[in-house]
A = this chain, B = another copy of it.
């Protein structure tokens, strides 16, 4: 085995963490290489040793964030037992995230907004993340034996993204709360007939 790997170097990890923070807070194009290496206290060449280019770093940052987000999502929906409760928990999870000060909307949506071309790796990673969320919703819907699980999942995703955008733009969690309520309306009513 090679020794210190190159994949899990401490420098690399700090680089990704610092860049993730800066990229999210200020927007990818507004953060230069110099700023990143200064904030991370890392030599310039170390960055280019681990990443071929800034784009490469952006991609790594997004990939990690993707893993984190999906982990958080999955964690939020495991506890509740019913399908209905799982969906509600998911939106409450989003509310918690969006309530955090400095929330600037979905990092993936923002990243996609900045990178224009649709065949870009960033764009595809973002699309993949969204597809994953929709798939999660669809699994829940099927487990609950809801009618039209695909459609419901898609609608829940729309609510999800719209809530994130809204929470960012108006600076509070109201849109997420509204989206949660809308999600409840969209789900089949608890059977009581």
Q: A170 to B113, Cβ gap below 8 A? A: no
Chain A, 173-188, contact with B by CB distance < 8 Å: what is the 0/1 string? 0110011011001100
Indicate which residue in B25, B30, B116, B126 contacts A25 across the interface (CB closer than 8 Å): B116
**How many Å lie between the Cα of A178 and that of B158 in the bound state?**
8
Are A157 and B161 interface neighbours, CB within 8 A?
A: no
What number of copies of this chain does the assembly contain?
2
Shortest distance between the CB of A149 and any CB in chain B (Å):
12
Residues of B within 8 A of A185 (CB): 185-186
Is A130 interfacial (CB 8 A cutoff)? yes
Complexed CA–CA distance, A123 and B105 (Å): 13
Given contacts A154-B174, A178-B155, A182-B155, contact A168 B112 (CB under 8 A): yes
The residue in chain B whose Cβ has the minimal distance to the Cβ of A115 is B27
Give the contact-size bracket for chain A.
Answer: 35 or more
Cα distance, A154 to B65, chains bound together (Å): 29
Of the candidates A105, A115, A126, A155, the one having the most CB atoms from chain B within 10 angstroms of its own CB is: A155
A14 within 8 A of B: no
For residue A74, CB closer than 8 A to chain B, the reply is no
Report the separation of the CA atoms of residues A185 and B165 in the bound assembly, to the nearest whole angstrom: 22
Residues of B within 8 A of A113 (CB): 27, 105, 109-110, 113-114
Q: Can you name the residue of chain B whose Cβ is closest to the Cβ of A112? A: B169
Would you list 28 pairs from A and B whose C-beta atoms are within 8 A, ordered by A residue? A27-B29, A27-B115, A30-B114, A105-B112, A105-B113, A109-B113, A109-B169, A112-B168, A113-B113, A118-B171, A123-B169, A130-B166, A151-B181, A154-B174, A155-B178, A155-B182, A157-B175, A158-B159, A158-B162, A158-B166, A158-B179, A158-B182, A159-B159, A160-B162, A161-B161, A162-B163, A182-B186, A186-B186
